[in-house]
Structure 1
Amino acid sequence: MGLDYLKRILTAKVYDVAIETPLEPAHALSVRTGNRVLLKREDMQEVFSFKLRGAYNKMAHLSPMQLERGVIAASAGNHAQGVALSASRLKCPATIVMPTTTPAVKIDAVKRFGGDWVQVVLHGDSYSDSATHAFALADEQALTFVHPFDDPDVIAGQGTVGMEILRQHQAPIHAIFIAIGGGGLAAGVGAYVKQLRPDVKVIGVQTVDSDAMAQSLEQQQRVTLNEVGLFSDGTAVKLVGEETFRLCQQYLDGVVRVTTDETCAAIKDVFQDTRSILEPAGALAVAGLKQYAATMGLQAQTLIAISCGANMNFDRLRFVAERAEVGEQREAVFAVTIPEERGSFRKFCDLLGPRNVTEFNYRMADSKQANIFVGVQVGNRAQADELQARFNDNGFQALNLTDDEMAKLHLRHMVGGRSASAEHELVYRFEFPERPGALTRFLNSLNPGWNISLFHYRNHGADYGRILVGIQVPPVDHAEFEKFLETLGYPAVNETNNPAYKLFLR
């Protein structure tokens, strides 16, 4: 298939709906990586992703008869919105088949962009089910199928991103990083860039659990994945396109695999530089750029990442914030076993030193030892290893859980339960100004004669830290404890008679 993609891209019809997005410097990322990092802001398109380029170019090349008859597409995300907007602009009837599990916000977005020209059909539990149904409807009703990636006109439309990059930055470029799902964007950009600037590296980026293109390139044939990770749903493709695979084989210099945590860290990086929130697929290129620059030891190079989408589900932000620090290697998570005796808690805090504690979960287990789940802010992975060694050297057995998926997803929320050993326990909620070292200062203010039997704290980035503490205070010490609360200076709420505490913790 000797398609002349250079000509196809130069003559692509995308600017009736797409804008030429800016190529912006990411100042903070540049400083941190030691390179000049530029972001190609495809998240600024009207549908918040690059997908409308390929969809519109495909539909704009259809004959008047094909447009009058109508088009059909299968998508649960950005491609659906691109087809919908294109249908409205071209006054072409469009059927969009979406899985029944598609969130209402995405269905509403498709209807909003397409207006009266779009009909949404909900079918099946997955994209594969929807695509199969869409192909069947296309045959039955003689509709033109608009593929999300494996079509020369779609690929050429996406390739205009590469055309803009080379026009906007004519100075040397070390590498361009591109998220890959089915491969349409990488194929189009690679085909254009490599024919005009073969010195520029074109690097694809995939998640470790949705790496169909990486595996296909390694095995030199298209590989079908049994399962794909869904966090980066915009790139969750089991089988890449036939044409996109051919072009990526020809033009890509490699594929970088990134983790969920690295993707979350990249979302935070872009937010700090632009105040925009990318979806996971939209931030993959940034995550790949950071990993590649660190691995290759790059300095003073120009690196470009295509921020290709910003259709973020709001309810994912909690997860992203939770995992971003670990992905940036700024937070280390440990399970530490300490003796259940007076003074050991304070000794543990002394070992933490001036480091900021991001999370602290503890529940008395028995009379001999205590297990603590703690998150600590670190500068890099080496500092986490040093801290683990420090715990162990001082008699506190420490297990590094920073890369333990179960611990990060579930265990941190499950530390606790009832304790038969927590005699005379009083439970209080405290608030204190969230400053570095504030938690350690709070712990040091506690009377060493009272044993801490429960402790829960998590830094949520708010102005005030909130902790739940169980303290074993014998009845004869209650008056002294009341005086302690008065002198502490932090707001305190007695939760000892809270019915939820009685049900789950007492």
Structure 2
Amino acid sequence: MPTNYLEKIKNSRVYDVARNTPLDFQPNLSARIHNRVFLKREDMQPVFSFKLRGAYNKMAYLPKAALDSGVIAASAGNHAQGVALSAQKLGCRAVIVMPTTTPLIKINAVKSRGAEVVLFGDSYSDAYVHALELEKSQNLTFVHPYDDPDVIAGQGTIAMEILEAHPEPIEAIFCCVGGGGLLAGIAAYVKAVRPEIKIIGVEARDAEAMTESLQQGQRVMLEQVGLFADGAAVKQVGEHTFALCQQYVDEMIIVDNDAICAAIKDVFEDTRSILEPAGALATAGLKAYAAREKLEGKTLISIASGANMNFDRLRFIAERAELGEKREAVLAVTIPEKPGAFKAFCHLLGNRNITEFNYRYSDPTEAHIFVGVAVNDPTESAQLVKDLAAQGLPALDLSENEVAKLHLRHLVGGHAPQAENEVVFRFEFPEKPGALMKFLDTMGHDWNISLFHYRNHGADFGRVLAGMQVPPNELTEFSDFLNNLGYPHWEETNNPAYKLFLG
């Protein structure tokens, strides 16, 4: 007999531990994409994730004998915390098998709830197989993170809360997808109550198990999955979840890591909360869908599914967010290798905000510059490339080049034995438009710039490393330039790191 998910969701026992979380309007994102965007704040649950709902609902319905023996789960982290807190509430033993790639913040959070942690394998699938072995050997009850009717029903209570909070028309609800429990639960409830609302699942580009399965009409097993959105890194979706998604889900959207980073920034700007990558998947998909469909004035809702962020990832996310929003163009520009060419190139950039500048002398005739420039949209990037070419400066747009964005931006440089009389200084530039041009204008002299490195890191000043070819008989004039410039500076010509790698 088919499961009546509407009744199961209505009768779910989640509120012993879970909160009815707010449905918050997102003013900044709404204004930018010209739609009314709301965020279901599951990041505000006691374990900072929606997973608590399904875990507790499953465990609350277990027989006393099963609870007395204990439970076991396999999880990349958020479900683990849900099971651990549920076990703490119900007074039973909990063993959690987690992939070895799980962020430490999630491991410690599970241990702090009194659960026993076993690290095994590189992905959820590996941990899952090991958990099933321990289930039999230790007579434990397995609490599946997504492929269980009670777990699905627990997650479905989110939809019940959304529709109660917003009875007005809704165009679409967006859910992140790993194994499919959240998407299945929300879809089952919404389509039973408000079938006109579109239900759209969102997956990371390198973890598209549900998308592939729905396209092929059967569950597929991915050979490997990317781990950036580790909370949704699942090789195969569940049987129950797949069947429900086949029946109720309108569409799947795939987004890349840059789009996820941009969505994390979007949510932060509206809420001052930092979602984990999987937690921002739904917002990234919402933005992509609204842009593709050219929607305006519609009500769109995304689920902020988790905020168990690994602090070490913040640097990468901040760096990639502007690229994900298409608000930074990364270019390789070729200019003549002669005094004054660098300054002329900067004049061509006009008042644009330079986010990064990497250059090292390597050829007596041509200079290759890696530059990041703030733009409003991709069309501006294309126009900038055309404008530079018209001035005889060939430019290559590297904004979609993963090797350039991940690696080469950090590797521009090397030894330059031809750069005679090079002096190297570290500067602190005020982080404001015109700071670089003031540097070049104040210099005045035709000293050749042989090294330049700058990257905007969000501070109130920019850190710059610059090398200039200054003949010994002009060092007094160079000292006057430094004094007139007025920027804090430190000479690094004799720095051993410079000598080893750049001198």
Normalising TM by the smaller chain, what interval?
Answer: over 0.9
Task: Find out whether 1:365 has 2:370 as its counterpart.
Answer: no
Matched with 2:146 is 149
Mapped partners of 2:408, 2:160: distance in 1: 48
For residue 124 of structure 1, the aligned residue among 118, 121, 137 is 121
Quick one: which amino acid aligns to residue 259 of structure 1?
Answer: D
Cα deviations by residue, 1:310-349 (Å, 9 ceiling, x for unpaired): 0000000000000000000100000111110122212211
Matched with 1:415 is 412
Task: Find out whether 1:503 has 2:500 as its counterpart.
Answer: yes
Matched with 2:135 is 138
Q: Which moved more, 1:123-132 or 1:207-216?
A: 123-132
How far off is 1:383 after superposition?
Answer: 0.1
The alpha-carbon distance between structure 1 residues 124 and 225, as it changes in their structure 2 partners (threshold 3 A), is: closer
Asked if 2 retains the 8 angstrom alpha-carbon contact of 1:71 and 1:93, the reply is yes
Where does 1:384-463 land on structure 2 (aligned, <5 Å)? 384-463=381-460
Cα deviations by residue, 1:67-106 (Å, 9 ceiling, x for unpaired): 1111111113101000000000011111111234444432
Q: Which runs of structure 1 show a deviation greater than 4 angstroms over 4 or more consecutive aligned residues?
A: none
Quick one: which amino acid aligns to residue 409 of structure 1?
Answer: L
Mapped partners of 2:23, 2:122: distance in 1: 38
Task: Find out whether 1:27 has 2:27 as its counterpart.
Answer: yes
Mapped partners of 2:376, 2:182: distance in 1: 35
Matched with 2:7 is 7
Cα deviations by residue, 1:155-193 (Å, 9 ceiling, x for unpaired): 000000000000000000000000000000000000000
Mapped partners of 1:450, 1:167: distance in 2: 69
Mapped partners of 2:108, 2:462: distance in 1: 38
CA RMSD of aligned residues (A): 1.1
Task: Find out whether 1:287 has 2:279 as its counterpart.
Answer: no
Where does 1:445-484 land on structure 2 (aligned, <5 Å)? 445-484=442-481
Asked if 1 retains the 8 angstrom alpha-carbon contact of 2:125 and 2:235, the reply is no
SS of 1:73's equivalent? strand
How far off is 1:438 after superposition?
Answer: 2.0
Mapped partners of 1:293, 1:126: distance in 2: 32
SS of 1:48's equivalent? coil
For residue 381 of structure 1, the aligned residue among 378, 386, 393 is 378
SS of 2:170's equivalent? coil
Asked if 2 retains the 8 angstrom alpha-carbon contact of 1:329 and 1:379, the reply is yes
Matched with 2:293 is 296
Task: Find out whether 1:46 has 2:63 as its counterpart.
Answer: no
What's the % identity of the aligned pairs?
Answer: 64
Where does 1:97-112 land on structure 2 (aligned, <5 Å)? 97-112=97-112
The alpha-carbon distance between structure 1 residues 330 and 100, as it changes in their structure 2 partners (threshold 3 A), is: closer
Asked if 2 retains the 8 angstrom alpha-carbon contact of 1:357 and 1:437, the reply is no
Mapped partners of 1:278, 1:33: distance in 2: 20
Task: Find out whether 1:354 has 2:351 as its counterpart.
Answer: yes
Matched with 2:182 is 185
The alpha-carbon distance between structure 1 residues 293 and 77, as it changes in their structure 2 partners (threshold 3 A), is: same
Quick one: which amino acid aligns to residue 255 of structure 1?
Answer: M
Aligned residue pairs, count: 503
How far off is 1:253 after superposition?
Answer: 0.8
Mapped partners of 1:73, 1:205: distance in 2: 24
Mapped partners of 1:201, 1:363: distance in 2: 52
Quick one: which amino acid aligns to residue 70 of structure 1?
Answer: G
How far off is 1:121 after superposition?
Answer: 2.2
The alpha-carbon distance between structure 1 residues 379 and 104, as it changes in their structure 2 partners (threshold 3 A), is: closer
Mapped partners of 1:229, 1:98: distance in 2: 16
Mapped partners of 1:210, 1:78: distance in 2: 17
Quick one: which amino acid aligns to residue 311 of structure 2?
Answer: F
How far off is 1:492 after superposition?
Answer: 1.2
Asked if 1 retains the 8 angstrom alpha-carbon contact of 2:102 and 2:230, the reply is no
Which 5+ residue runs of structure 2 have no aligned equivalent?
A: none
For residue 195 of structure 2, the aligned residue among 195, 198, 203 is 198
Matched with 1:73 is 73
How far off is 1:291 after superposition?
Answer: 0.8
Asked if 2 retains the 8 angstrom alpha-carbon contact of 1:30 and 1:37, the reply is yes
Task: Find out whether 1:160 has 2:157 as its counterpart.
Answer: yes
The alpha-carbon distance between structure 1 residues 190 and 367, as it changes in their structure 2 partners (threshold 3 A), is: same
How far off is 1:448 after superposition?
Answer: 4.1
Task: Find out whether 1:329 has 2:326 as its counterpart.
Answer: yes
Task: Find out whether 1:262 has 2:244 as its counterpart.
Answer: no
Mapped partners of 1:173, 1:102: distance in 2: 36
Quick one: which amino acid aligns to residue 505 of structure 1?
Answer: L
Matched with 1:312 is 309
Cα deviations by residue, 1:236-279 (Å, 9 ceiling, x for unpaired): 11100011011011111101111100000000000000000000
Mapped partners of 1:37, 1:100: distance in 2: 36
The alpha-carbon distance between structure 1 residues 466 and 420, as it changes in their structure 2 partners (threshold 3 A), is: same
